[in-house]
Amino acid sequence: MTKTFGSLYGARSAWRLRALFITLGVAVALLTLLVTPLYTAASNTAVLARSVDSSVSPSAILTDTITHTQAFTAHLPIVTTPPLPFPPPLPPPLVFTGTEPIDFTAVYSDLQTQGLELAFNKIGFHHGVGGIAGDDPEFVQMITDLDAAGTPFFLKSTDNAQPIYIAQELMRSSGISHTLVFRRASGPNGDYNVPNYDLSPADAALAHWQLHMDGFPPELDPSLIWIETINEVDKTRSEWLAEFALETAQLAIANGYRWAAFGWSSGEPEPEDWESPAMLEFLQFAGEHPDQVAIALHEYSLNNDLVSLWYPYLLGRFQLLFQVCDEHNIPRPTVLITEWGWTYSSMPPVEEAMQDIIWASWLYAAYPQVKGAAVWYLGGEFGGIAEQTRLLISPIRDYSLTHYFGYTPGIGAIDTTLFTPNPPTRYPWEK
């Protein structure tokens, strides 16, 4: 934009341009530019015209159009739109308790009048081959009771479709939105756990997807459950995996499946791995398809002393992912914590384990994008951990039917300190 300033003076008259103020700002900034006075002599009939050359930025060139050119630089400020401040952190969820049966329809309405949303316990179980049978009476009674009460539950199974099928049929009948995850981990035709890193991401995605399609249990309904196709992948190949994930996600959607990516090990990936161009592109896609694409994570404490010992670097690490998404204006993706616990072969006594579960359930209740976590493990091997884990079936059932949360809707800045537990109680709200 060009602006011209001129004045007509008598013979040997002097002129002075006292000040020029340019007001610039975006809502909060007011910048003032003072142009140094200029002096020149002119004839009786001279017209002095000066112009600002708008083609030059961030400086302006002033020219005298009568007999010669006088040029100097007046430095203009570079104006940028300041980043909008992110909303402050939301308060932690409120914890409510009641006696069975709780009328969750009435609870939902009551919380709405308080500006809160209803959340349930999101801690469920990881099933598998061997160990506790998929149709174990205590286990089936637990999920049946939760379904009848209108309480969603989280369930993952590897290689054993039976528990997922039982839960799927409950879900189909009741309409309750349980979160069910199936993964094929073994079979005769190749490595079901990791893709072929020697191929291009696109070729590897196609080959690995076909491998899992060939082994997908026909009794499972892909419109009702999530499928995992990879597990504890190589964190040093995060950008390759991001390209692989985008290709696989597109294949899954095209085939009518709901797919969960990565299955990162506890403590992985590194925060910067979420920020590569390929990974940001995949996260954008996942954030735009929350009902079809998810991020699968594992959260273990790697000790039996306290599940939150290394919070938020092991348990609660999903918050680092959400921070990256927030910084890049990407919708927070759906997160499935498909393995959760202490160690792969042991857990603390039931009372202590339940204290840890109650704390983690409170943490996850704050984030509606986190659909749940599967306690490791009701399947076989791994030091016989199934016999320890089965002791949690009834306590988790009872807790889920008598406790619920009210969380503040919306998106706020991540503040992990809000959920830092306070030993020895392990319950931050009992401090």
Please check whether residue 48 is in contact with residue 42, taking contact to mean a CB–CB distance below 8 angstroms. Answer: yes
117 with 77, same domain: the answer is: no
Q: Is 336 in the same domain as 380? A: yes
Q: Which of 19, 51, 82 is the last residue of a domain?
A: 82
pLDDT, tens digit (0-9, with 9 covering 90-100), for 366-422: 999 999 999 999 999 999 999 999 999 999 999 999 999 999 999 999 999 999 987
Give the integer Cα–Cα distance in Å for 135 and 366: 32
Instruction: Give a yes or no: residue 89 inside a domain.
Output: no
Where does residue 103 fall: left (phi above 0), alpha (psi -120 to 50 degrees), or beta otherwise?
A: beta
Contact 257, 210 (CB under 8 A): no
Residue 145 burial (CB count, 10 A): 17
Q: How many residues does the chain have?
A: 431
What CATH number is given to the structural domain containing 174?
3.20.20
Residue ending a domain, choose from 82, 114, 139: 82
Q: Is the peptide bond before 277 cis (omega within 30 degrees of 0)?
A: no
Whole-Å CA distances, 404 to 98, 112, 185, 288, 337: 9, 14, 34, 29, 20
Contact by Cβ (8 Å): 158, 386: no
43 shares its domain with 139: no
Q: Are 335 and 294 in contact (CB under 8 A)?
A: yes
Residues 247 and 359 in one domain: yes
pTM of structure: 0.80
Specify whether the CB–CB gap between 241 and 275 falls below 8 A: no
Look at residue 233 and tell me if it is in a domain.
Answer: yes
| Domain extent for 21 | 1-82
**205 shares its domain with 331:** yes
In a domain, 42, yes or no: yes
H helix runs in 182-339, sequence order: 201-214, 238-254, 277-288, 318-327
Domain end, chosen from 21, 52, 82, is at 82
Overall number of domains in the chain: 2
Alpha-carbon gap, residue 236 to 243, rounded angstroms: 14
Q: Which residues contact 359 (CB under 8 A, 6 or more apart)?
A: 307, 308, 421, 426, 427, 428
- The span from the CA of 345 to the CA of 329, in Å, is 40
Q: Is residue 87 in a domain? A: no
Inter-residue contact 149 to 101 (CB < 8 Å): yes
Terminal alpha carbon distance of the chain: 62
Distance (Å, whole) CA 157 – CA 160:
6
Query: What does DSSP say about strands 123-127 and 334-341: parallel, antiparallel, or unpaired?
Result: unpaired
Q: Specify the amino acid at residue 198.
A: D
Specify whether 65 is located in the same domain as 197: no
Instruction: Confirm if 184 and 215 have CB atoms less than 8 A apart.
Output: yes
- In this structure, the answer to whether residues 147 and 246 fall within a common structural domain is yes
Per-residue pLDDT of the chain (431 residues), as tens digits, is 433 333 333 333 333 333 333 333 434 343 333 333 333 333 333 333 333 333 333 333 333 433 444 444 444 544 444 555 789 999 999 999 999 999 999 999 999 999 999 999 999 999 999 999 999 999 999 999 999 999 999 999 999 999 999 999 999 999 999 999 999 999 988 899 999 999 999 999 999 999 999 999 999 999 999 999 999 999 999 999 999 999 999 999 999 999 999 999 999 999 999 999 999 999 999 999 999 999 999 999 999 998 998 999 999 999 999 999 999 999 999 999 999 999 999 999 999 999 999 999 999 999 999 999 999 999 999 999 999 999 999 999 999 999 999 999 999 999 999 999 876 556 555 44
Q: Is residue 92 part of a domain?
A: no
